[in-house]
Structure 1
Amino acid sequence: MAESTEAPRAVPAPAPDWTPPPAAAPATTRRERRRTGAEIWIVLGLSLGQSAVYALVALGVRLYDAIAASTGLDSQTATLNASRSERPYLDLVYQVLAIGFALVPVVLALYLLSARGPGTLRRIGFDAARPGRDTAWGFALAAAIGVPGLAFYALGRALGITVTVEASALDPYWWTVPVLILSALKNGLLEEVIAVAYLQERTADLGWGRWKFILASSLLRGSYHLYQGFGPFLGNVVMGVVFSWFYTSRWGRHRVMPLVVAHTVLDVVAFVGYASVPDAWLRALGVL
């Protein structure tokens, strides 16, 4: 039998399991870049940038007080979830209103991104398309960040460069735990949507590379925690590097939901745990 002279067909290479979503065309004209830059500053000025400025001022006041009193920052206290009224139900109303209004910048950021056309939420992974995978990655990230974060806090306390962080000062009402959970979710949405998803999209429009974005996002995250001292600042910079790197990696796949889950879990443990764990345990952990 004569051998076939037909050339063997090439076997196509398997497609990669994930490719980054197509990037929008970056701002090319000077006017477009200026508008994009102004938009970033406006969104940050209404949200995390505002918090960063207040945190920097608070740190300056704390340092001045520490020097004047010849004591360390560890002698001062920062309260995260403070009571807003002596009347329980009025306090509840104020707490819910504060959480709701704090999320308005998130809605604004998503609205501005939607100018690109439909599919904005899917583009940044702010949807329920992969609940199992997002939740699994979220808990894994929370575990990876939680222990080092506590270590940075304890080290800062030992060195006298971190204030005592009181995670909750709410009285034990029936609504205290639900409000703390909502506060944790608010932090996860606000910080991850704006400091990661929104900022990555907009800095990409400006032509920024991946690592420039990671540096900016991480320093921003650390800056609005400066009121807690230098330990939490460094810990949150590390958290920012891990989260922004993961978001832009083949594992994160430009999905912000795992970051929201991770951040919410971390804050729920911190807020509810602080209110539930005996003071003796907190002192043993170096939290008090």
Structure 2
Amino acid sequence: MSGVRSALRLIDAALAPEPLNAQTVTLNAPKADVQWLDLALQLCSASVLTGWGLLVLFLLAGDGIRMSALRAGDWFRGAGLAALIGVPGLVFYLGAVHVGFSRQVVPTTLDAVWWQAPVLLVWSFANAFAEETVVVFWLVTRLRQLGWSTPAVIGASALLRGSYHLYQGFSAGLGNIVMGIVFAWFFTRTRRVWPLIVAHFAIDAVAFVGYSTLVEPLGLAGLFGS
């Protein structure tokens, strides 16, 4: 349903009087006006997201399927995947905003308080852990058990990933489909999830923390369409 809801939000945005590239969407917004309450709500929400990933690991473990432990090489593979996806993805996003195929994505509007960066890192991990365990590890495993071919499995995983990012714009859906193809293909070849989590975490952490500590304070947000 996340994909359907995201698609409906994109349709609503596309039908609005102002063009897509004149609209903004915020990824990490305050949840309360009181700082300590906002911090508590941020951590609770991130914990729920992480919990979905833990639930998937529990369900797969019941069938004797366990995620391999984190290894040193996973950090290097993850960094490589992050660069492969992140750098072209940023260029694609900037081009899409310029031609009107994407909304302006604001990584965070959290207050500049001491816990801002740590919470953004927590969100980066929660997003990465939940998405890669559910959309890749669980979905690919279950579809293979149902007898789906490798191309079909990769396509299904990629389309699901792209669908629930559509609220950001057409380009976000397409870009995440490409990311989904690469990540699902990598998993079918290596059966390793941690490099995907590391890569996803790195992409989000650079976007979230980099925006809050460099882009916004230096007044460079306009360069990124926000």
TM, length-normalised to structure 1: 0.75
Secondary structure in 2 matching 1:116: coil
Matches within 5 A, 1:248-287: 248-249=188-189, 253-279=190-216, 280-284=219-223, 286-287=224-225
One of 39, 43, 55 as aligned partner of 1:92: 39
Aligned AA (1:109): V
* Post-superposition offset of 1:267: 0.2
Aligned AA (1:283): G
C-alpha distance in 2, partners of 1:234/1:154? 14
One of 51, 56, 81 as aligned partner of 1:104: 51
Paired residues in the alignment total 224
Secondary structure in 1 matching 2:112: coil
The corresponding residue for 1:166 is 106
Which structure would you say has the larger RCO, counting Cα contacts within 8 Å and 6 or more residues apart? 2
* Post-superposition offset of 1:282: 3.2
* Post-superposition offset of 1:62: 0.6
One of 68, 77, 94 as aligned partner of 2:24: 77
- 1:276–1:241 distance in 2 versus 1, CA, 3 Å: same
The corresponding residue for 2:172 is 232
Secondary structure in 2 matching 1:86: coil
Q: Which stretch shifts more, 147-156 or 169-178?
A: 147-156
Identical-pair percentage: 41
Q: Deviations over 1:179-224 (max 9, x none)?
A: 0000000010011011101111100111011111110111111111
Secondary structure in 1 matching 2:108: coil
Higher helix residue share: 2
Aligned AA (2:194): M
C-alpha distance in 2, partners of 1:211/1:156? 28
1:57 aligns with 2:8: yes
**What residue ranges of structure 1 are gaps of 5+ in the alignment?**
1-49
**What residue ranges of structure 2 are gaps of 5+ in the alignment?**
none
Q: Say what the alpha-carbon RMSD is for the aligned residues.
A: 1.2
C-alpha distance in 2, partners of 1:55/1:272? 25
TM, length-normalised to structure 2: 0.95
Q: Deviations over 1:40-82 (max 9, x none)?
A: xxxxxxxxxx3222211211211121xxx2x310111100000
C-alpha distance in 2, partners of 1:54/1:77? 17
Q: Could you tell me whether the CA contact under 8 Å between 1:149 and 1:232 is conserved in 2?
A: no
